[in-house]
Amino acid sequence: MINVRFTVFGGVSARAGDRTTEFGPTRLGALLGVLLVDAGRVVGADELVERVLGDAPPARARAMTQTWLTRLRQTLPGLIEREAGGYVVRVDPLEIDLHLFRHLVRTGRTAEALALAGEDLLSTLDTPWARRQRAGFADELLAARLDHVDARLGAGEHSAVVPELHTLAAQRPLDERVAAQLIEALHGSGRTSDALTHFDVLKARLATELGAEPSRQLTTLHRRLQTASAPRQLPAAPKPFTGRAVELAELDQAPNGVVVITGTGGVGKTSLAVHWAHRAAERFPDGQLYVNLHGFGPSGAALGPGDALLRFLSALDVPRAKVPHDLAGQSALLRDALAGKKVLMLLDNATDADQIEPLLPRTPDTHVVVTSRTALKPSHRARSLSLGLLPPDDARELLAARIGHDRAQAEPEAVDTVVRRCARLPLALAVAGARAATQPEFPLAALADELADLDAFADDDDVTADLRSVFSHSCKALSPAALRLFRLLGLMPGSDISLAGAASLAGLPVQETETLLAELARANLIEKSEPGRFTCHDLLRDYAAELAQHDEGEQALNRLLDHLALTGVEAGVAFTPTRRRPITPEPGPGVVVPPMGTREEALRWLMAEHPTLMAALPLGTPEQTWLMGWSLADVLDRQARYQDLLTSQQLALAAVEQLGDTDGIGRTLINVGRGLGRLKRLGESRAVLERAFEVYEGDAAGQAGVLLNIAMLCTDDQIHEAMEYTRRGLVLFEESGDQYGQANALTGLAWGYGKIGDYAASVSYSERVMPMWQAMGHLFGQGETWDNLGTAYLGLRDFPRAVHAFTQSSACFRLGGDLPHEAAAYEQLGDTHAAAGDAESARLAWQKSLELRVGAGLSADSVRAKLEAERE
């Protein structure tokens, strides 16, 4: 039987060349299969009977088996031999898929092995022996799968194996090898917080169900992840850094607590703090936290303490499910997270004590360094370190480090002149040094002579240094195009700007703008705040704004606002494709409008530009402001930024009213009403929506949309009233032929019937509207419909269908970028699991809902109550 290959996975078969013999569920196939499993070993006659016919064979079982053996030996001559009271298959084991599988596993070729075992072992034989073989092989198969996972982890495929490991962990919740692999995969995927959470869950289950502790391997892995997850947020150390020996020694000697470094703008507070933090990092093995509070940037750019707290808690791997929605609770949680840890916290560029007060942990092992232009006096006792101008020798050394020591030694008098005219301010020295470094062929004395005397640019009363001449000196070395771009960057409304925004501001092609930005970065006039975005020191920004010519500045700002408005519309359409696109003008000369390919790309752009758009809204023409407001309406609603939603739509409403666009006024009134409603200002919301209804007189679809929004304001004891508004809206949508509006109304009715307990009607309406949403590709509508189906199936106690519906609903809302509705879907999924008696699945779903609610700044009291009740 040379060159014959045999299979025992699935049905038994033999293949020679192109010819395959399938034995199927026959006795011959069963007999061949049980011999192939033990190829090369003699199987006794009685054992063969038991394997093929079971524990209670018929009276003539042995004779029957002999007959089958004879036929089998005739079919496959030379394969089966009789020996010592039994029978044996004489064939190379590697010609049998089971034995080849085992060989491949032993030699580390697990991918090939797993490809062989696609079906159950001896799937057509159902005897006790065959079932025992399958159960035993299941353990082999699992071990091979896990070996293959180890190989993939070793190859860096962490993200790819996470779904498979999640499934295995759900099936084998106490399997520590699976748990270790999942923890490793999550960590390698950048999800260390999830990895540590999984360890905590496993540890609790082991203690509760087995009374055991995690293995040494798992605890070692846990300690490694804790170390790896320690935050390392410090910016790069400033290079070069010179001097400040006295201040560095004082920082070294300060006990853990709070140190506030104060000094005028440009004096080097951040450089000192960051340099010292890197030098002292080993004192804080549990991590270093950093945040730029933008206290003295453009109006509206300062970072609130709540945002800073969320960043710190995330960096400390605190699960979002544990984060309360109020500032005091978040501050307390930060203290808990830092308790017992040796952590350094650097709060850079603070405005006042109120901005930093909630961030101060007051734990004995945490050290806080604050930088500010003002003398802060937090309620917690703080040491003050006032930073003056660089001493002359230190200032000379800093300049020499930037221009080259040989050059500095060759012209010591010129160095002194530059140092004096830079007023020994590190920012001025950095800018002047960059200017000199870019022109090594110029004598330093000639460059020094270009610096004018300094007079009072800084606002601080104790410093009279005027940085204008230093900045002017540096600007003279720029190409005319780069100098023009620098001037215009002083006009940007936010704290930073994108490449496309800078190109629009300058009215230049993107590639040319990128080259100019690189020139400005080399001159130390700007820096990258993050990939693709640029910022500059606020003093440089102020100087740039002073240089901007009035006429040119107006035109440039108008181009930038056009870029924001027109790109915002593209992003808004990509984010919600079913929205009616507003009429937009063609981009003017020099305005860059990058395309938005996907919903995810649009969401990233909108959230990245959100602060800039909010700052730009009051600056635009009526058309620009209306379009920017339109672009923000959906994303701010979906991301639960309700105050910004209301503010942006109020500004957009004032703008569109100047344009006299009736449809635009109606739509924006609806958005204002929605914002008021989200903030629970229901009376004001109702009044605004009633005004919108009047504006839409004669427009059936417009009035129908208003009626559906009024229905959304109805409370739980007004469901019948809400359904009546929805029915009226449906009639108007049908009159106007508005398919999207009809789908909205039908979805609202499905929701209403679910609320009043008519679950059959809710299912009927949901099944009617689902194909409409799917045809439109409308994720939010599909998510709402799945949610309504879940509510109905839960009411009907059809738990499997309800679980499926709420799972689909959460997925749709997640893909659609709607945090509040995704959170609600997870809460209801938890309710369904709880009703079905699956407490663990309920807890996991509720925790996910809590995480999303807290992340969106929404109330999470109902979910917390359920989790507390579940723990009790």
Q: What pLDDT is stored for residue 313 in this prediction? A: 84
Share of the chain above pLDDT 90, in %: 24
Cβ contacts of 41 within 8 Å, gap of 6 or more = 88
Q: What pLDDT is stored for residue 464 in this prediction? A: 33
Query: At 543, which helix (H) or strand (E)?
Result: helix 538-547
Top pLDDT among 646 and 715 is at 646
Most confident of 417-426, 433-442, 595-604, 626-635: 626-635
Give residue 301's pLDDT band: very low, low, confident or very high (50, 70, 90).
Answer: low
Q: What pLDDT is stored for residue 546 in this prediction? A: 77
Contact of 635 with 603, CB cutoff 8 Å: yes
Q: What pLDDT is stored for residue 463 in this prediction? A: 37
Classify residue 86 as left (phi > 0), alpha (psi -120 to 50) or beta.
beta
Give residue 473's pLDDT band: very low, low, confident or very high (50, 70, 90).
Answer: low
Q: Kindly tell me if the per-residue pLDDT of 17 is higher than 80.
A: no
Q: What pLDDT is stored for residue 461 in this prediction? A: 38
Q: What pLDDT is stored for residue 458 in this prediction? A: 38
Hunting for tokens 């007004």 — which residue is that?
A: 718
Q: Which residues of 16-25 are buried (b: 16+ CB within 10 A; e: fewer)?
A: eeeeebebee
- Which residue from 119, 128, 137 is spatially nearest to 52, judged by alpha carbons? 128
Q: What pLDDT is stored for residue 485 in this prediction? A: 93
3-state secondary structure 146-209: HHHHHHHHHCCCHHHHHHHHHHHHHHCCCCHHHHHHHHHHHHHCCCHHHHHHHHHHHHHHHHHH
Neighbours of 299 (CB within 10 A): 8
Share of the chain above pLDDT 70, in %: 93
To 10 degrees, what angle do helices 45-53 and 27-37 make?
Answer: 120
Q: Kindly tell me if the per-residue pLDDT of 38 is higher than 90.
A: no
Q: What pLDDT is stored for residue 320 in this prediction? A: 53
Top pLDDT among 228 and 555 is at 555
- Mean pLDDT of the 134-160 span: 87
Cis peptide before 594 (omega within 30 of 0): no
DSSP letter string, 74-125:
HHSTTTEEEETTEEEE-S-GGGBHHHHHHHHHHTT-HHHHHHH--S-BTTT-
Q: Kindly tell me if the per-residue pLDDT of 460 is higher than 60.
A: no
- Mean pLDDT of the 116-144 span: 86
Q: Kindly tell me if the per-residue pLDDT of 417 is higher than 50.
A: yes
Q: Kindly tell me if the per-residue pLDDT of 855 is higher than 90.
A: no
Q: Kindly tell me if the per-residue pLDDT of 507 is higher than 90.
A: yes
Give residue 298's pLDDT band: very low, low, confident or very high (50, 70, 90).
Answer: low
- Mean pLDDT of the 300-321 span: 73
Q: What pLDDT is stored for residue 462 in this prediction? A: 36
**Of the candidate ranges 332-341, 409-418, 459-468, the one whose mean pLDDT is the lowest:** 459-468
pLDDT tens digits, one per residue of 388-399? 888 888 888 888
Q: What pLDDT is stored for residue 434 in this prediction? A: 77
**Of the candidate ranges 96-110, 179-193, 645-659, the one whose mean pLDDT is the lowest:** 179-193
Q: Which residues of 375-387 are buried (b: 16+ CB within 10 A; e: fewer)?
A: ebebeeebeebeb
Give residue 1's pLDDT band: very low, low, confident or very high (50, 70, 90).
Answer: very low
pLDDT tens digits, one per residue of 350-367? 888 888 888 988 888 899
Q: Which two tokens stand for residue 103?
A: 């060989």
Q: What pLDDT is stored for residue 459 in this prediction? A: 41
Q: Kindly tell me if the per-residue pLDDT of 454 is higher than 50.
A: no
Q: What pLDDT is stored for residue 867 in this prediction? A: 83
**Of the candidate ranges 10-14, 460-464, 829-833, the one whose mean pLDDT is the lowest:** 460-464
Give residue 856's pLDDT band: very low, low, confident or very high (50, 70, 90).
Answer: low
How far apart, in Å, are the Cα atoms of 507 and each of 134, 527, 647? 71, 21, 30
CB-count exposure of residue 46 (10 Å: 0-12, 13-18, 19+):
middle
- Give the C-alpha separation, 69 to 80, whole Å: 9
pLDDT tens digits, one per residue of 690-721? 999 999 998 888 898 889 888 888 887 888 88
Contact of 424 with 391, CB cutoff 8 Å: yes
- Mean pLDDT of the 11-35 span: 81
pLDDT tens digits, one per residue of 791-817? 999 999 999 999 999 999 988 888 776
Q: What is the mean pLDDT of the chain?
A: 84
- Give the C-alpha separation, 488 to 545, whole Å: 7
- Which residue from 243, 264, 244, 240 is spatially nearest to 467, judged by alpha carbons? 264
Contact of 777 with 579, CB cutoff 8 Å: no
Q: Kindly tell me if the per-residue pLDDT of 341 is higher than 60.
A: yes
- Mean pLDDT of the 622-635 span: 95
